[in-house]
Amino acid sequence: MPGVIAAFTGADLASEWAAPMPCAWPVTPDMKNPPHYPLATQRACYVGDGVAVVVAESPEQAIDALAGIVVDYEEEPAVTDLEDAAADRVLVHPDIGTNRAYTWELISDPDALKKAFDSAAHTVKERYIQQRLIPAAMEPRGVCVVPHPFGGDFTVYSATQIPHILKVMLGITCAVPETSLRVVAPAVGGGFGSKLNVYAEELLALALARKLRRPVRWVEERSEAALATIQGRGQIQEIELAADADGKITAVRVHLIADMGAYLQLVTPGIPLLGAFLYHGVYDVPVYGFSCTSVFTTKTPTDAYRGAGRPEATYAIERAIDALARKLEMDPAEIRRRNFIRPEKFPYSSAAGLVFDSGQYEMALDKSLELVGYDQLRQEQRRRRENGSARLLGIGLSSYVEMCGLAPSRVLASLNYSAGGWEAATVRVLPTGTVQVVTGTSPHGQGHVTSWSMLVADRLGVDPQNVEVLHSDTAVSPHGMDTYGSRSLSVGGTAVAMACDRVLDKARVIAAHQMEVAEEDLEVSAGTFSVRGTPEKSMTLQQVAFEAFTAHNLPDGTEPNLDGSITFDPPNFTFPFGTHVAVVEVDTETGKVDLVQYAALDDCGNQINPLIVEGQVHGGIAQGAAQALWEEAVYDDSGNLLTATLADYLVPSAAELPSFKTGATVTPSPTNILGVKGVGEAGTIASTPAVMNAVVDALSHLGVTQLDMPASPEKVWRALTNVGKEAGR
């Protein structure tokens, strides 16, 4: 066909792979991980599982050629329901004999857990569905692999969050020496976890560039993104709270069934574990039990999506505590106050085994209520109920804590994760005074260049305009663990700050030597070393850098050039927190929910750039509210994705959202020298339960308390109609 260069099936390319596609998180020793190759050979296990590849001169020619491929599928039954999957009625992968990938448990004291529930004054048991979500970064994925004309090297350009991890995994999977690979993540148009992966198309592009000895490019279409980019969430959650007569929670017990999809992608099995420690939320709960059974289904693999495990945990506990408040006829704010971990308890050792670094949860709640005008809203809510208004008001709270700053490498080891959680940084003061920063983090919209410049300018006393930040190219930044899990500032930024300190230490030695004074006699301010008591005797950092460059007069044992490098492995996670308040209007005649007000009070520790912090919160709120009200990856019983376009999958526009009120408290983290915690996921984690609690709050007096996401007009209307029918019986 015109323009077609080659076409291959999975079998044609079988010899290209030295290993199956990587899963870096075998959470249990007996976890089932069916081999997964870039193209299926015998069985395709979900709609989106590639079976053939066409290489052509243009995308149009490739599409024409695809139409010429006829695949003779022999259809097998789909497995789309999680409980059905867990029952092993139909197997997604008959070879492994079960749909259960693993069961993972975290139960601090089984006897105490049983006793807490047996002797509780009150218990609530809730069941929630975390629907599947499509990450929908505005830029779909894309990859281009350029083979060098000789020498066997490849440059891989990929719209990825993880150029460093990708390089290692491409090398292992395609049997290309790591030294022959350069991976570049150019300006990447959003990720939200969906580009924290090693994808079939990246491996195929490399293998085909090697086979065909020419550059190979692949750019995803939106409907392909829906089918073949990982999806998020996908859990059935059962959560039980035990409480004493005053509403003080004495134990939390959780069981999940988590949807892995058809295969395990890079960190698929670990996602439930990232939430596993946090189902007691911000509350001081002495006894804790968690278990998760993860199952294969004939759907797109799930993996990290903004918050990854923590939104699920926060949703469950925040909805359940509202259920407890309803049972006790207590205000949702009051029940939270009674249960918060008190500020004096930090560092707080949780029953789940974490050490929370710092927190002032009640202060955040108080300020959030003030920000939104809680008391007036409650009055307005009453007024509308009394007037019989068809537009009811609902006010929803969500107090959250997350674990960020992934991650202490030893903790990752204890969770069976296959890599570390450190981050690398180099800071160089060039002879002309420009400061060059090399970071192993890999931004895709978070503004690292701005924040890192500010941080370095502040620490070294230079103009931020004179700071150059290099990232996302393994040729200039050879070491890194990339960007996800709100880790970049607390791990990567801390590394940059520590590298700055090394630069200052070295500069001090050189400056003292040059000015013939003792190091202790030097003070540094605004990028200048001056002699204490003789301020006219001074050297700027730029002068020191030039002296370090010429190396004409350095103290014995001091190496030329002014630079510092460090690899920082965080001693603990960081624990950002806050309270969000959502206000919705529910039309009882149509079931339509409008999000009319939203207030967010977040504490991410010290802030480098408050504008960027707010921006992260805004975007997070929109994404989390979207799960509550609009978004759902819907599959039919045959496993076909029915929401594979942005016309069917309801990513909200500006018209569906209000402006947000934001506020902050600052409780520094003692875990790192910057006192920062991270903010990339907070908005998403907090907002989903806040919005759903608001919807339920609007309707609970009518008897509607069981409502799953998304709270679409149809679902709300049906819930109202059903309670109406029951009341009429």
Partner 1 sequence: MQVRMRVNGTEYVHEVEPRLLLVYYLREVVGLTGTNVGCDTSSCGACTVLLDGESVKSCTMLALQADGAEITTIEGLASPDGTLHPVQEAFRQNHALQCGYCTPGMVMAAVSLIREHPDLDEATVREGLEGNLCRCTGYHNIVKAVLAAASAMSAGVPA
From the list 136, 183, 135, 137, the residue with the least C-alpha distance to 444 is 137
State how far the alpha carbon of 401 is from the alpha carbons of 232, 348, 666, 684, in Å: 20, 13, 14, 12
CB of 351: closest distance to partner 1 in angstroms?
35
User: What does the alpha-carbon distance between residue 268 and residue 278 come to, in Å, rounded to a whole number?
Assistant: 18
From the list 705, 708, 728, the residue with the least C-alpha distance to 323 is 705
CB of 248: closest distance to partner 1 in angstroms?
36
User: What does the alpha-carbon distance between residue 647 and residue 563 come to, in Å, rounded to a whole number?
Assistant: 52
CA atoms within 13 A on the CB side of 569: 9
| Tokens linked to 63 | 């599409």
Pairing between β-strand 216-219 and β-strand 232-243 as defined by DSSP bridges: unpaired
CB of 42: closest distance to partner 1 in angstroms?
31
CA angle 540, 544, 550 (to 5 degrees): 145
Dmax of the chain from CA atoms? 95
CB of 38: closest distance to partner 1 in angstroms?
23
Q: Specify the residue, 525 or 645, whose C-beta has the smaller distance to partner 1.
A: 645
Q: Specify the residue, 655 or 727, whose C-beta has the smaller distance to partner 1.
A: 655
From the list 623, 617, 625, 624, the residue with the least C-alpha distance to 679 is 617
Q: Specify the residue, 136 or 174, whose C-beta has the smaller distance to partner 1.
A: 136
CB of 445: closest distance to partner 1 in angstroms?
3
Q: Specify the residue, 564 or 689, whose C-beta has the smaller distance to partner 1.
A: 689
Query: Coil, helix or strand for 359?
Result: coil
Q: Specify the residue, 158 or 671, whose C-beta has the smaller distance to partner 1.
A: 158
CB of 656: closest distance to partner 1 in angstroms?
8
CB of 226: closest distance to partner 1 in angstroms?
10
Q: Specify the residue, 142 or 270, whose C-beta has the smaller distance to partner 1.
A: 142
Name beta bridge partners: 584: 394, 595
| Tokens linked to 299 | 């759907």
Question: How many beta carbons lie within 10 A of that of residue 110, not counting itself?
Answer: 11
H or E segment and range at residue 201: helix 200-212
Q: Specify the residue, 137 or 694, whose C-beta has the smaller distance to partner 1.
A: 137
State how far the alpha carbon of 299 is from the alpha carbons of 103, 135, 180, 509, in Å: 20, 15, 35, 60
Q: Specify the residue, 188 or 435, whose C-beta has the smaller distance to partner 1.
A: 188
Q: Is 671 exposed, middle or buried (0-12, 13-18, 19+ CB in 10 A)?
A: buried
CB of 513: closest distance to partner 1 in angstroms?
44
Q: Specify the residue, 33 or 446, whose C-beta has the smaller distance to partner 1.
A: 446
Q: What are phi and psi of 464, to 5 degrees?
A: -55, -25
Q: What are phi and psi of 383, to 5 degrees?
A: -55, -45
| Tokens linked to 295 | 């199952």
Name beta bridge partners: 429: 435, 562
H or E segment and range at residue 113: helix 110-118
Residue written as token pair 């999506």: 305
CB of 7: closest distance to partner 1 in angstroms?
22
CA atoms within 13 A on the CB side of 495: 27
| Tokens linked to 588 | 């009882």
CB of 480: closest distance to partner 1 in angstroms?
19
CB of 518: closest distance to partner 1 in angstroms?
46
CB of 682: closest distance to partner 1 in angstroms?
13
CB of 541: closest distance to partner 1 in angstroms?
29
Q: Specify the residue, 137 or 427, whose C-beta has the smaller distance to partner 1.
A: 137
From the list 509, 479, 321, 508, the residue with the least C-alpha distance to 399 is 321
Q: Specify the residue, 191 or 234, whose C-beta has the smaller distance to partner 1.
A: 191
From the list 315, 141, 305, 308, the residue with the least C-alpha distance to 231 is 305
CB of 79: closest distance to partner 1 in angstroms?
29
CB of 12: closest distance to partner 1 in angstroms?
28
CB of 625: closest distance to partner 1 in angstroms?
8
Q: Specify the residue, 2 or 388, whose C-beta has the smaller distance to partner 1.
A: 2
Q: By the 8 A CB rule, do 101 and 296 touch?
A: yes
Q: Is 716 exposed, middle or buried (0-12, 13-18, 19+ CB in 10 A)?
A: buried
User: What does the alpha-carbon distance between residue 544 and residue 563 come to, in Å, rounded to a whole number?
Assistant: 11
Q: Specify the residue, 355 or 449, whose C-beta has the smaller distance to partner 1.
A: 449
Contacts to partner 1 by CB under 8 A: 60, 136-140, 187-190, 192, 221-223, 444-447, 611-612, 614-616, 618-623, 645-647, 651, 653-655, 657, 659-660, 683
Q: Specify the residue, 126 or 614, whose C-beta has the smaller distance to partner 1.
A: 614
User: What does the alpha-carbon distance between residue 311 and residue 336 come to, in Å, rounded to a whole number?
Assistant: 18
Pairing between β-strand 355-356 and β-strand 391-401 as defined by DSSP bridges: unpaired
Q: Specify the residue, 42 or 653, whose C-beta has the smaller distance to partner 1.
A: 653
Q: DSSP assignment, residue 411?
A: H
CB of 529: closest distance to partner 1 in angstroms?
35
Beta strands in 350-456 (DSSP E): 355-356, 391-401, 423-429, 435-439
Amino acid (one-letter) located at 698:
A
Q: Specify the residue, 33 or 688, whose C-beta has the smaller distance to partner 1.
A: 688
Contacts by 528-535, CB closer than 8 A, 24 or more apart: 528/461
Pairing between β-strand 467-470 and β-strand 181-184 as defined by DSSP bridges: unpaired
